[in-house]
A = this chain, B = another copy of it.
Amino acid sequence: MNDPLTYKDAGVDLDAAERAKRSFASLLDASGDANTLSGLGAFGGLYAVPEGLSRPVLVASADGVGTKLKLAFLSGRHDTVGRDLVNHCVNDILVQGATPLFFLDYLATGQLDEGVAAQVVGGVSWACRENGCALLGGETAEMPDFYGVGEYDLAGFVVGVVERDRILDGSAVRPGDRLVAIRSSGVHTNGFTLARTIVFERMGLRVGDPFPGEPASVADVLLRVHRSYLGLVRPLLADGAIRAMAHVTGGGIEGNLPRVLPEGLGAHIDCGSWTVPNVFRQLESAGGVEPAEMYRVFNMGVGMILVVAPDREASVCAALGDEAWPLGEIVRGSGVELAGVG
């Protein structure tokens, strides 16, 4: 006869999981809106299609936080990565003209730490409220042997809505249209595997050390929250000022801007139009990274690019204030020319 085995013996504590789920209930309630019809405990989350739209189109996107999570593990700060995740997802549907309706998260860990999970989901909930979308549900998975002690993965999923005739699909873009950049807050959520290698191996820094050239620690600088551009951009969208929009994530400007340009059009970027933030200069120098590679991996200070008609450039820049500047223009051809790099 074998010793009796339980699920908990095998590494999964259903009671702890149940307690964590209950603690999330208040977070779900806090971010719900009038269209949210379900509470926690239901198998799926319910969200009424908003009324008053003539031909609503749903826009959905899935994303993760990537290895920026390692900075959270190293520094013990777990309340920002959820905000990175939500803001990243919100930006990804914003570029098609959509505003977010609801969000779901997936949090996977080896052994559930209720305090850490509450911080992570707390960040998700916070950002949902900031973006005016409901946190409709999610999954918390306890998977022994998958994740290192104290580690987890975090992914999310957003659904937004746009009127069919207001979808931004790039078809409105014309040669001569202007590009307007909006500032990023830092590295956002891309390129962290390279950034970590440079900071921890080449520079030999630890998370609590001062980051070169900044009055802040390595953790402060690298964990800066990925911005949501929803608040800034929504008035311009309502105004019809924007012909296309690109979120500068993995692949950089040249990997993302062409995704919203029609065949036969490319972009000219004036890389002298802004000062690349210190964090990128430090990474480039300490890592000996080629400038072209830097622009392929990182946002280099440009978090979002708007494409506007020439006669709207000045008013759009004025509306965005210090956050934005004229970045370049749409040209016949293909691809992105980064003028002045290297």
Contact = CB atoms under 8 A, between A and B. Distances in A.
Given A47-B58, A108-B153, 13 more contacts: A4-B289, A7-B191, A7-B193, A10-B194, A46-B59, A47-B57, A48-B55, A62-B104, A67-B143, A104-B157, A108-B155, A146-B153, A159-B159
A155 B139 contact: yes
A317 interface: no
Contacts of A157: 60, 62, 104, 106, 157
Contacts of A151: 146
A193 B155 contact: no
Nearest to A159: B159
A320 to B, nearest CB: 20
Given A56-B49, A62-B157, A159-B159, A93 B44 contact: yes
A224 interface: no
Contact of A61 (B12, B96, B104, B246): B104
A139 B64 contact: yes
B60 A45 contact: yes
Interface stretch (A22-30, A35-43, A211-219, A331-339): A35-43
B288 A4 contact: yes
Interface in A1-37: 1-7, 9-12, 14, 17, 37
A263 interface: no
A293 interface: yes
Interface in A47-92: 47-49, 55-64, 66-67, 69-70, 92
B297 A259 contact: no
A167 B43 contact: no
A95 B42 CA distance: 9
A287 interface: yes
A140 to B, nearest CB: 9
A319 to B, nearest CB: 23
A145 interface: yes
Contacts of A57: 37, 46-49
Contacts of A176: none
A160 interface: yes
A290 interface: yes
A167 B37 CA distance: 10
Contacts of A49: 49, 55-58, 161
